[in-house]
Every structure is written in C-alpha cells, then in structure tokens.
Amino acid sequence: MSRIHGFVCGVVVAAATAYTGLAQLQTTSLRVSSGLRQIELLVDDLVTPPERALEQPKYTVRRAGMAETMKDLWNRELEASVRWLQDTQSMRMWMRDTTSRAWKEIRDLSTDGS
C-alpha cells in the first residue's frame, strides 16, 4: 500500500505544482498584456491624433439677416466718415495755428526792421 500512497502523493504534488505554475503564468501574462495594451494606446495617440479631435463641432453658426448686415455696413461707413471729418478738422486747426504763427513772425520781423 505504501507504493500506491507514494504514487498518489507524487501525482497530487505534481498536479498541484503544475496548477500553481500555470495559474502564476496566466496572472503574469495578463499583467504583461495589459501593460502592452496601454503602451500601444499611448503610441497610437502619439502617432495618430485621436478621433475626437477630428469631429465636427456640434454648434451651428447663424448668420445675421440682410437688414442687420446693411445696418452694420451703414454704421461702419458712418464711423469712417466721422473719423475722416475729425482728422480734417484737426489738420485745419493745425494749419490755422501754423499760419498764424508764421504771419505773426513775419509781422514782427517787418516791425523790427522799420
């Protein structure tokens, strides 16, 4: 009987060792494959842009109506005209001041020379 007990114990120990080794191998391979998948995703994101960046925006841009567009054009033209008028008024004032100073200097020179 001891031979049968020895044989059975040998089979049990061998099976337990094989089972434990296979379970350890499966756990390790799952961990390694998970790490490789994560690395693959990182490399793919570096090489190709993610699809969400290529999606079209969800919003739509509504254009103003014809009346609003005409109002905006009118206002732009009016503002440009007012700016031009202000520029010409400041130029006119500068010219007036410059000529009056020059005329005053000419009169002073003619008065001093007489």
Mean pLDDT of 91-109: 89
DSSP state of 60: -
Mean pLDDT of 1-26: 90
pLDDT in tens, 39-83: 998 888 787 765 665 566 677 777 788 888 899 999 999 999 888
Structure tokens at 75: 């206002």
pLDDT in tens, 36-50: 999 998 888 787 765
More confident residue, 8 or 47: 8
The pLDDT assigned to 82 comes to: 86
DSSP state of 105: H
The answer for residues whose C-beta is within 8 angstroms of residue 72's C-beta and 6 or more apart is 64
The answer for residues whose C-beta is within 8 angstroms of residue 64's C-beta and 6 or more apart is 72
Domain positions in the chain: 1-52, 80-114
Which single residue is written with the structure tokens 């040998």? 10
Amino acid at 77: E
* Alpha-carbon gap, residue 87 to 95, rounded angstroms: 12
